[in-house]
Structures are given as C-alpha cells and as structure tokens.
Amino acid sequence: MAGHAPSPHKPRRKAKRTADLQSNLSIVESSSSSGRVVPSFPLAAFFWPARGSVSQWEILPLVLMVVGLFRWAAGLWGYSGFEKPPIFGDYEAQRHWMEITTQLPVSQWYFHDLQWWGLDYPPLTAYHSWLCGKIGSLIDPSWFALYESRGLHDPTLKIFMRATVLVSEYLIFVPALVVFVRRFSRVNGVTTWSASIALAAILLQPATILIDHVHFQYNTVMLGFVVASMSSMIAERYLWSAVFFVCALGFKQMALYYAFSVFAYLLGSCFSPRINVTRFIAIAAVTAVSFAILILPLVAGTYYDVKRGISPHPDRKGSRVPLPLFEEYVGYLNTDAFYYPYIEQLVQMVHRVFPFARGLFEDKVANFWCALNVVVKIKNYPTELLQRGALIATLASIVPPNLILLIRPKKHLLPLAFATTAWGFFLFSYQVHEKSVLLPLMPMTLLLAGNQGLGKDIRAWVGFANILGCWTMFPLLQRVDLRVPYAVLTLLWAYLLGLPPTSTSAYFQQGSSVFSHWVTAFTHVFFYLAMALWHVLEFFVRPPSDKPDLWVVANVGVGAAGFSLCYLWCLWKLILQSDILPKALGGKERKAKI
C-alpha cells in the first residue's frame, strides 16, 4: 500500500495560553493561606476569568462599554462655569467657539470679541467647533445664536455637549490607544491578558475623565493624535507619525510639550541604524504639507471674505477696528497690499495661540515657578527676564531625555522619553495651566502596557503620579462643586490598581525587600499622608484672614515636589533602559524584544 502524500496544510499549533504564569508574574502572586496563584490587585481580579484568552476581541468590547459608562456617568455632574456669571467657565468657552465658528465668517474667528472667550486655540479646534456647532444647530439653533446664547445652561444642550466629548474621544483617542497598547505590548513581549488590563487602567485614568467629561474640555482629542503618532512610530510608519502630530499641534498648542521628543525620535530614525536621507526629506515634506493643509481653510476663508468686502475684525456696528498687534509694524507693512489680510490673519492666530502677555503663570499651578514664587516674588521681575529664565530651565530639563532618544531611537523608550519631556515642560515652561498635568500623565500612564508595566514598581509610580495630579487639580474642581466625582473617580482608580489610600499591595509584595522598593514606599506614603492631611485641613480649618490662599499654596508646594520626583524617576528609568550607561554603572541589556 502506497504511503499517503504529505498534507499540504500544517497542523494547527496549540494556542499558547496568555495566562502562563511565567509571562504574567507582574500581576499575580501566591496566596499565603492556600498557596494558590491569585491576582495581585482588583483590576486583575476583575479580568481573571479571561486570563486564558488569546484574542483581545473577547475583552475589548467589555472594556469599551465599561469605560464609556463611567465617562457618561461622570458627565451627570456639573461643569466649569455652571451658573457662575459673569463670564462662566470652560464649558461656555467651548460652546461660544461653536457659536462664532458657525455664525461668523472664517476671517473673523480669531478677532471676534476677544474679551468674551475669544478663540485662542489652533485652527483644528476651530474646525472641530464648527462641525459640532453645525450638528447642534440642526437640533436647536438657539444654542448658538450670536450674542444671545451667552451663558446658556439648557439641560438638553448639556447632553449634546457631553455627547460631543464622548463621540470625539471614541473616534480619535480610544482607537489610537487600543492600537498603541496592542503594538507596544507586542514590542515588549506582554501577553494579551496583561495588555487588556493595562488598556482598561489607562482608559479609566481619573484625571482625563475629571477634566474632559466633568469639568469639560476636549483634551483627549489632542492626546489621541499624540498617541496615534507614537503608535505610528512603533509601526515604523514615520510619515503618518508626522501627520498625526501636526494634527495634535493643530488641535491644541500644548502638544508642543511633546514636540522635542517627536523631532528627536523621527530624526534619530533617519540616522539609525543607517543614514536615510530619503526618509528625512519625506518626513520634512509631509510635515510642511500637513501644516499647509491645516491652515488652508483659514486662508481660503479669508480670501473669500476679502472678495466679499468683509472686514476681519469689525466692531458690532461693522466698522474696522485697529489691530494693536500691528502698531509697531505700520511703517513696514502696506495695509493696502493684496497679501496684508492673510498676514494679518495668520499673525493674529499665532498671537492668540501663544499669549505671552499673560505672564509666567496665570493661576496657581504645582510647578517650579509657582512654588518658587511663594518664597521669592518672581512675578515682580521683568517679563523678558522671566521668559529667558523659563526658556533656559525648560531646555535644561528636556535636552537630556531627547538626546537619549536621538541617540537611541528605540520603540520601548517612547513613553518614558515623552513623559520626561512633558514633565520638564510642565515644571519649568512659561504660562502653564494646572490642567496641563494631563500631558505628562498620559505617556507615563502608557508605561502600564510595557514590560513589567503592571508590576509593583511601575504601577506604584504611575499610580502616584496620577493620584497626585488629580489632587493638585482639586482646587480647580472644588470651585465648581466637583468634590464628589473627584473623590469617587480617584479612589476607584486607586482601589482597582491596589494603590494607597485603599491598599499597599503595589509596594509590599514578594521580593519587596529590595532597599530601593522600601525607599519608594516610604517616599510615596509620606506624600499620600500629606495629601490626606491637606484634605482634612482644607475641609475643617479656615485659613487665616491675611493668608486666604494658604491651602492652595500648600497644594502647590507638595505637588511641585512630587512632580519633580516623577520627572527624576522617568529620566532615571529612561537612562537605564536606553543602555547608554556602562554595565558597571547600572546599564543593563533588555531581554524583551524591541
């Protein structure tokens, strides 16, 4: 009998269980009573039945539904400026931008009534506001009636505005994050189960929910474009990375916090492992074209309005209002030249986007300059001196991480380099808002999806940074009566990840006898106790009449100290993982595939 011909199909290999204990040691531990392996923190316990899953699609729908539910539930609370005249708050600013972009010619967007929430974000925000305003006008045109809708607090409008945040987030931020976590976890050899837990933890990050879905803003749209840019770098799609980052800059100027890291990585990829001039030219060309496309609607709208004889910045009676920005250039610019309206439009847009006239810091924020101002009244120094000082300090803090990224453009270094750079900007740059802490928190939280990301060391530091970040934003939140969502969302996240004040499992686990782990534990516990004590004093003790901002100032000081530690930790981790140090000094080879 002739032998059978070999089958053309290979037998299906048995799927490797992603719950293999050797690959998930960072999120499991042995029970002291029974000796069985158990999850080491509640979020891992929630996903415990899915530990044998080999596909993210078994878990992803659950994650997206749960995090969406939390976002919508958080939106049931009030928002910034609710019934707080005379100028209300951020909610009114976003609604007003929908009003002016849908009711006014394009050329007037950056000139209209600047004292009432004048548009001061880049063009992509304006286009987004226009789209949302057009959709909202189909439901109720009175929501965006020019002048007459100011300070409107219609309950149905609130539902619409909340929905625009959620839909925008699920169209940009959530898909970008899902793709990034999948790619980054593969680079680091992380299992599907661990990656799903990390994705849930990142999407439940309390700071973004509190600011975007409660206080009200669209920060996650910008952050989503940044995550998409990082994800494209991991996939070696460098041209798409440039496009996505231009979109991030075009939506919010705060994306400049990441600009040095994007530049360093993309430039480094053109020279490592070999010089690739073609790639360099292509990235430069795509970046320039992307910026041109970004401002094209603004320029085209100005051209159309000029042809119709519409003034870019009239008063309410229609007459042209002189533009103070151009007073010193009157002798150099011909106001009758065909190009003048376009120069005026672009310069005004840049002027609105970068408001240096507001000073070193506008409100109390937990960064270096505001903390220093408590001891030395630096705001009394000349503006030019403060600008130079902020520039020098910022460069000193961001050059080291980006030199590392330039020399070692490795995929696994991206979150650390982005986080270190963003911390440097937050601590030392000019005109920082307390909500800007979202920018360093985002890439630092992405570390949860990396190698040992859910282990005690990284989980402890990422948790510490996020809880401290929420705490420093408490004075902003409590001004609009948002104490309850702040407490619920922050404590819930701490509980799910096994963090103080609900648990100390992120510190005292097996193998935690290492000296550095104990130092970390005592340092973090000190800050957690300081935060708890501050809340007790702020709630029960009235500050002295001659120091009404005492508790806010204390918040600034503790926050600035804690964020400085986060910066140093990210920088040290970046140095270690980049292998630029000799092994004798602490450098070590990574075993994970990169």
pLDDT in tens, 176-209: 999 999 999 999 999 888 999 999 999 999 999 9
Residue 14: left (phi > 0), alpha (psi -120 to 50), or beta? beta
Beta-carbon contacts of residue 225 (< 8 Å; ≥ 6 apart): 172, 176, 244, 245, 247, 248, 251, 255
pTM given for the model: 0.91
Tell me: pLDDT of 226 over 50.
yes
Closest to 277 measured CA to CA, from 242, 234, 285: 285
What is the 3-class SS of 535-566, one letter each residue? Answer: HHHHHHCCCCCCCCCHHHHHHHHHHHHHHHHH
* Total Cβ atoms within 10 A of residue 339: 9
Tokens of residue 32, six digits:
């002291």
Residue 499: left (phi > 0), alpha (psi -120 to 50), or beta? beta
SS3 77: coil
Mean of the per-residue pLDDT values of the chain: 87
Report pLDDT for 20.
Answer: 46
Tell me: pLDDT of 356 over 80.
no
Which amino acid is located at 100 in the chain?
I
Q: Compute the average pLDDT of residues 381-406.
A: 93
What is the chain's percent helix, strand, coil content, to nearest 5?
65, 0, 35
CA distance to 261, 461, 574, per residue, from 270 (Å): 14, 33, 21
Tokens of residue 558, six digits:
């503790």
Scan for tokens 């702040």, then name that residue.
486
Pairing of strands 37-39, 28-30: antiparallel
Q: Which residues, listed in sequence order, are joined to residue 30 by a DSSP beta bridge? A: 37
Using CB atoms within 10 Å of the CB of residue 590, give its burial: 0 to 12 exposed, 13 to 18 middle, 19+ buried: middle
Tell me: pLDDT of 513 over 60.
no
Tell me: pLDDT of 591 over 80.
no
Cα separation, 230 vs 411, whole angstroms: 9
Cα separation, 594 vs 515, whole angstroms: 29
* Total Cβ atoms within 10 A of residue 82: 17
CA distance to 184, 216, 419, 440, 477, per residue, from 257 (Å): 21, 21, 9, 8, 24
Q: Which backbone phi and psi does 314 adopt, to 5 degrees? A: -85, 165
Find out whether 470 and 210 touch, Cβ atoms under 8 Å: yes
Report pLDDT for 594.
Answer: 34
Tell me: the pLDDT tens digits for 113-149? 888 999 999 999 999 999 999 999 999 999 999 999 9
Tokens of residue 189, six digits:
């050899």
Q: Which residues, listed in sequence order, are joined to residue 353 by a DSSP beta bridge? A: none
Find out whether 320 and 305 touch, Cβ atoms under 8 Å: no
CA 500 to chain centre: 23
CA 455 to chain centre: 23
Find out whether 451 and 435 touch, Cβ atoms under 8 Å: no
Q: How confident is the model at residue 27 (pLDDT cuts 50, 70, 90)?
A: confident
Tell me: pLDDT of 550 over 50.
yes
The C-alpha torsion from 241 through 246 and 248 to 253, rounded to 10°, is 140
* Total Cβ atoms within 10 A of residue 478: 13
Which amino acid is located at 333 in the chain?
L
Where is pLDDT greater, at 1 or 523?
523
Find out whether 26 and 454 touch, Cβ atoms under 8 Å: yes
The C-alpha torsion from 400 through 404 and 407 to 413, rounded to 10°, is -150
Find out whether 506 and 459 touch, Cβ atoms under 8 Å: yes
Beta-carbon contacts of residue 419 (< 8 Å; ≥ 6 apart): 440, 443, 444, 447, 570
Beta-carbon contacts of residue 468 (< 8 Å; ≥ 6 apart): 527, 531, 559, 562, 563, 566
Q: What is the DSSP string of 381-422?
A: S-HHHHHHHHHHHHHHHHHHHHHHHHH---GGGHHHHHHHHH
Tell me: the pLDDT tens digits for 263-286? 999 999 999 889 999 999 999 999
Tell me: the pLDDT tens digits for 423-470? 999 999 988 888 999 999 999 999 999 999 999 999 999 999 999 999
Report pLDDT for 13.
Answer: 44
Cα separation, 509 vs 29, whole angstroms: 8
Scan for tokens 């070692």, then name that residue.
408
Q: ω before 501 within 30° of 0 (cis)?
A: yes
Tokens of residue 352, six digits:
């609105």
The C-alpha torsion from 119 through 216 and 255 to 292, rounded to 10°, is -40
Q: Compute the average pLDDT of residues 494-510.
A: 85
CA 177 to chain centre: 12
Tokens of residue 93, six digits:
């600013």
Q: Which of 25-29, 300-304, 389-393, 435-439 has the lowest mean pLDDT?
A: 25-29
Tell me: the pLDDT tens digits for 59-77? 899 999 999 999 999 999 9
Report pLDDT for 12.
Answer: 43
Q: Compute the average pLDDT of residues 94-103.
A: 96
Q: What is the DSSP string of 10-22?
A: PPPPPPPPTT-GG
Cα separation, 207 vs 438, whole angstroms: 7
